[in-house]
Every structure is written in structure tokens, then in C-alpha cells.
Amino acid sequence: MELPPKANALRRFILVGLLLAVSPQVPADQAPRAPASAVAGGYLTPPAPLQALVDAPRPPQLSISPHRDLLALTQTPALPGIDVVAQPELKLAGLRINPRTYAQSRFVFGTDLWLMDVGTGKEIRLTGLPKPLSIATSAWSPDQRYLAFNQVDARAGTNELWIVDVAARSARRLISLPLNTVAGRGYRWMPDGKQLLVQLQPQGQGAAPVASIIPTGPDTQQTQAGAGVKAIRTYQDMLRNEDDAKLFEYYLRSQSALVDLDGKVTPLGEPALTTSIEPSPDGRYLLRQRVERPFSYLVPVDSFPQRIEVLDRDGKLVREIAHLPLVEGLPTGNDAVPTGVRDIDWRADAPATLVWAEAQDGGDPARKADIRDIVQMQAAPFDQAPVTLARLGSRYAGAYWANGSLALVDEFWWKTRHVKEWRVSPDQPAQAPVLVREGSSEDRYRDPGKPATMPDEHGESRLVVTADGQSIYRLGQGASPEGDRPFIDRVNLVSGQSTRLFQSKAPYFEDPHVLLDAEGKRALISRESPNEPTNYYVRDLAADGKLRELTHFPNPLPQLKGVTKEQIRYKRKDGVELTATLYLPPNYNPKKDGPRPMLMWAYPAEFKSADAAGQVRDSPYRFNRISYWGPQAFLTMGYTVLDNFAVPIVGEGNKEPNDTYIPQLVASAEAAVDEVVRRGVADRNRIAVGGHSYGAFMTANLLAHTRLFKAGIARSGAYNRTLTPFGFQSEERNYWQATDVYNAMSPFNYAGDIKDALLMIHGEQDNNSGTFPIQSERMYAAIKGLGGTARLVLLPNEAHAYRARESIMQMLAEMNSWLETYVKQAKPADKAAVTH
């Protein structure tokens, strides 16, 4: 339900008054039940079936070699303990930094590494790996003779560069100097595969600066009229003062260097605040991006003043491409971009040519313009004016490079969701581009797939083109009313004719990842079914379609093999088609056993058309992957689960989706509840709803505007949209342009209407834009002050997603206790209420 502006204002006035008053005593029979061991403090543990999910083994991560004949497998370890997650961490300019290692904070490292021969499936074990192994990232050399990896030991404070000699099957540390990986990977291969370009911790810069105890003055900010309306999102982890600024400079500053395979280090210039450095495909030049003062207290590092420069192999300046100013906000709208050089990179198919986009409308989507972006090219030695490759009616969205006569350029306009793809001739930019495709980014049924690429001899990603130069390959998800059916197509760019080489068929879900050869004869695919876990295969794309298994990962949770999954379809009362995935626990028969308590889980999405909103997502043939993170975990406790029930918020034509957010949200939930009750798998009086992030926001709104659910579980959400006044999720308008929408969508304004039990869990160091922990704290205070039932759990040292084993155990214990108390123990619906 939506209230007129005056009613909203009155509600807010009353609510503020209540929150300022002394909170009333909640009657004992309304008080939420806390887990018994919570009183004693310490972390809780859930029942054994839920613990088993947390500790289940996880499959390795795969990386395929440039020649497509080797796989590198990195073992994913168990969850880290809170002692690891609680290590020192700096939060500066949108970065989270481990000061011991000069690295981005991360808590999952590969604990084993081995290779596999794609041709035979034979495993290749390696010697000389460090112990304990903790791989942050890895990268193949262009000639695949070596595999480099970043070994980070947070306890020891080390950040090292290692390489694997593939032929010798052995690993060794390449240099003793430590890496700086604050702004990225910290290393990459040069195109000849004989050197690595690295970022090192500067030598001799002394100890980190210490914050002043006695202030030297106030921290000030100032703006003035005439600058125009600028939208600034509510970012976390910003710089707060000059002490933060000095600390940020200290840890971001790195020394660029070239490292030979024998460990020889050649420094390149002086240390700088480098955020990116990339060699040209011929290896003669380096494209460096670095930030400089003045810094900002409002926006993260990628909006700081920036210099984009071309250096030679000795680190000397060849040309400054751009000097970009501080960007504190953009014009209103999701299609807004900064002015000047944007999205700059090397052209993959040329020796040393830069490509970038520049807005022609001032970056303002509200300004009328036939040409929104131009795509520019500038070749070495960078002393000539740039050449225009393409003039686009919307925003540049990237390019795929093949050769001098073929590249594909994408453009996109968020407001309409319109996409276009153009064929261009990079070496003859005066030739008129040819439109390859156009459509809606939301239309999954007509998505032609992504162009297939393969690394060239320099390690650059290039389009796979047939020998006659006429056709490319596309890999897509193959969305259809029957679910996703991934495919591989060969597409003739001249005629537009498409030939299907492969498509997934029931009862399996097969997903092609890469082509294994330039002729499109073989592909690496993953294959799974509801009862068979994901494994990797080589599939012959010829007529016989031979299939050869490479990996043999077992089912990590064989005790849950009896879970059943069904993709269901139903309609909302406005006619919009909806989908969801229904899970039933092992050995459960609805007709025999009757309806069960249910947990429903979702994440709303905005659409510009009802047809797109109604399209089926996912596949009924995917493996029943039961994770501790999703709602399926509670199948182990006997609940039925409706996962990812569709909550489309549609705004067709000139209408904005969020203008009718609440009615569409409620209608979607009503349709889902009616459907599961009709099917006899859920008891109408014993259903809970939950979600994470925007799903948590949805959950609070459903409890505020309906009585469909006995309980809600909201993790890491935002509830008061006045605290995100310059847009949230996909909302383009600011608070002052759409005050009624912001107020109507804020469940905080309706806290007094929340009559069912709401559990809120939040990482107390949430780093996601808009979901400050104060959102949950204030929502809890409102419900408490207004006499409702709620529980707030703040997880120490956790961000937007939770990482420590203890935190995950606590999360599951809290969710289980909440469901047991307010859902499972609720009075069942009488038989007359089973159908709606």
C-alpha cells in the first residue's frame, strides 16, 4: 500500500517521536526467544546437519592454459577461522588492506595446486610448492611454459611471487622482494613470456605513518552553488582525514619493475600511486594509470584525480594520454559517466594501439544527443591525433578484437535496456560500421551468446574466427520456457546465418566454457544433473558428439542425494508470468506427509517489460547444490524451500519500476504463497521469507505490508532509503526527485506495521554501498520501540558477505532457532485454509 505525501510525513513525525521516547516493555509472551547458549556469550553452533554443510569439501577451481591442453586446479580450502578474518585491516578510499602483507584483504587461498593433461585426463603433481600453500591468484605465461602465482601468508606477513616450471613439474620462489597487491594482482606476464611486470613494496620508505593523537585542526569540506546536480552514492570505507590520506598513500605506493625468469629485478622509474599498469601486445610500451591528490572524503579511489600515461620499457614517460580531475558525483541516471578518457585499454590485435571511449553529451543522459560516445584509437608513437573508430548512440560497452578487418563493438543504454553490436574494421575506421545485432539486455530468450575468444601468442584475448574469415563462434545460456539450455553456435557475420554446433539436452545441464581449438571442433564443458555434481568434460562438436570425462569430483553431501527439485511456473494477478525453484527434503511425499513449514527466499529485479520479467531463469537439470549460504540449507531440518521466487518490478515504457514497487512486491509474494499452498507442500500459517542485501530489504517490506509470513530473515539489508538519497539498486532518481517513492519503499517508515518476527543479521564491517550496519541497528530500534518482535545479530569483523566459519555457524544457528520458534512451532492452518 502507498500513502500520500502528507500521510507519509505524519507517519515519520510520529515514528521519530516514538523512537525518542523510552522503549515500552514487551510482554513476556511476545518476547523473542533467544538460543539458550546466547546468554553465556560466545559463538553458537547449529544442529549437526547444518554443521555438515559448512564443513563439506568444496571442489577445486580450474584455469585452462593458453594452448587449451592443460588445466591448473587450485584446491578451495575450508572456511577460515575468525582468528584469520579478525587480522588487522585498513579501510581506506574504498579499499580493504591487510597492512601485514600490503595486499587486498582476502581470506580464501588455494591450499593445493596441480595440473591436468586435457588430452589424457592425467593428473600432474608438482614439487617445490611452499608449505603451507596459500595461493591468492595465478596466471599462465603466454607460451604456457610457466604458471605464476601469488603466495600470501597473512600470519607471516609475506606476499611472494612464485612460478611453476611446467616441463620440470616444479615450483620455485622467483624473487625475495615482496609484492604490493593493494591495487590488483601485482604481477602480469610480458607478451614474450620471458619477464613479468610486477608491483613491489617500495624499499626504504620507512614505517607506516601513525595517526596524530592531538588534532592539528578540523577536517573541512566545501561546495558551492553552480556546480549542477551530482549524484553521489553512499560509499563505505572512505578517507576521513589527513591521517587516513597519508596511510592510503603509504600502502598504495608501489615500485614497478621487470623480473626475468632468473630472478633479476629491473626497477622502472620511481614509486608511484599506481592503480594499473599493462604492457602493449608487442611489449614495447606500458600503459600506467596512477592517482594523485587532492583526494576525496566522499568517493573511492577510482574517482580520484588520475593520470593516464604511456611509458617505455625503461619506465620513462613517452606520452600523457589524459589528466583526469576528481569526480565527486555524476549527473543523475544510471547512464551517466565521467567526461574525458574512459575505459582505456590496448587494442589486442595491434602491436601498440590504445583504445578508449569519450562521452559526447557531457556524460549526462538527460542531455539530448545523437552521439553519446565516441571510441578513439591512438597508435604508437602516440604523437598523432586519435582516430575515431565508432560513433555510438548510447554508451560504449567494450570490444572484441580479431584482426585489422574485424572487431565487434558493443553499446548499451540502461534506461531502455537497449543493446547493439557493431562490426567494424579497425585498420579502416572510415568504413561504415555494420549492425550485427540489437535488442534488449533483458530478453534472455533471444540472447545470441558471447563471442568465443582465445589467447594469442602474446596472451591477448582474440576472437576465434573461422579459416575463411567469415564466421565467429558464440557461447550462450540458451534461455527458453523449458529453462536454460546452453549452446555453441557458428555465426556467419556476412549472411547472419547461425549453425548450432551443440546444445545441452535433458536430463543433463551442460555448460560450454571455452573452445579447445580454433576450428571449433572441441569444447571444455561442465556437466551436471540434479543428482550428479558438476564435473568437467571434453565434448567433440562433430556429429557423433563424443564426451570424455576429465574430473571426478564426488557429491560433497551424499546424505542429501534424495532432495528433489522442480522449476515451477505460475502467474501474478496482473498476468505476469513468474518462476521459482521448489526444493523438497529427502523422503518427503506431500500427498502422504501433508504440507510442511516452508522457507521462501528471493531477490527482486527491475524490468522494462512484463514479457522479459516472465522469462524462465535457471535450469531444472542443475545439480541440487545445497550450500550453507542459501535457503536450501534448511532442507536438512525438514523444511520445504522455495528459492529465487520471482519478484519482478516492472516499469514499461516511460514508467519507472519503483513507482509501484510495493503493490508488485506484494502481488509476487501472494502468488508464490498461493502456488506452494495449492501444491500441498507448504502450510499457509507456517511460512517464512528471507533474503540477503536487497532481498533483506524485500523481506522487511513484506512483513510491513502483509501478514503472509510468520517470520522474516533479513541479512545485510538497508531499510531507510533516505540514507541512500542519490539512488539505490537500479533506482536512478534521487530522493528529492522521487520523495514519495523513497518513503513508500522504506520499511523503516512502516516499522509499526511489522507484526511478525523479524531476524536481522549484519556484518558489523559491511563494505557494500548503501547497506551500512546502522541500517539494521535503526530498524531494530524502531521495531523494539514500537513493541514488535525482532532480533539483531551483528557479526564481528564481517563485511557484506560473511567469511569466518564461526560467523557462518552463528548465522545458521540464529536462522534455525528463529524458524523453529516462529514458524515450525506456529499453529498449523486448518484444512479449510489450505487452498486460497
Residues forming the active site: 693, 766, 800
Contact between 182 and 254 under an 8 Å Cβ cutoff? The reply is yes
Q: Are 250 and 182 in contact (CB under 8 A)?
A: no
DSSP three-state, residue 220: coil
Peptide bond preceding 620 in cis form (omega within 30 of 0): no
Residues in Cβ contact with 274 at an 8 Å cutoff, skipping those fewer than 6 apart: 183, 199, 252, 254, 256, 288, 289, 290
Cell numbers 565487434 correspond to 408
Q: From start to end of 166-284, where are the E strands?
A: 170-173, 187-189, 195-200, 255-260, 265-267, 274-279
Pairing of strands 461-463, 498-503: unpaired
Give dist(CA 605, CA 698) in Å, integer. Answer: 11
Which of 181, 6, 213 is closest to 100 using CA atoms? Answer: 181
Residue pair 491/498 in contact (Cβ under 8 Å)? The answer is yes
Residue 172 CA to chain centroid, in angstroms? 33
Contacts of range 529-537, beta carbons closer than 8 Å, 24 or more positions apart: 529/621, 529/623, 530/564, 530/565, 530/620, 530/621, 530/622, 530/623, 530/624, 531/555, 531/561, 531/623, 531/624, 532/508, 532/623, 533/59, 533/623, 533/625, 534/59, 534/623, 534/625, 536/62, 536/71, 537/510
Q: Is 180 left (phi over 0), alpha (psi -120 to 50) or beta?
A: beta
**How far apart (Å, rounded) are the C-alpha atoms in residues 342 and 289?**
12
Cis bond upstream, residue 49 (ω within 30): no
DSSP secondary structure string for all residues of 628-696: SSSGGGGGGGT-EEEES---EEE--TT--GGGGHHHHHHHHHHHHHHHHHHTTSEEEEEEEEEEETHHH
The amino acid that residue 431 corresponds to is: Q
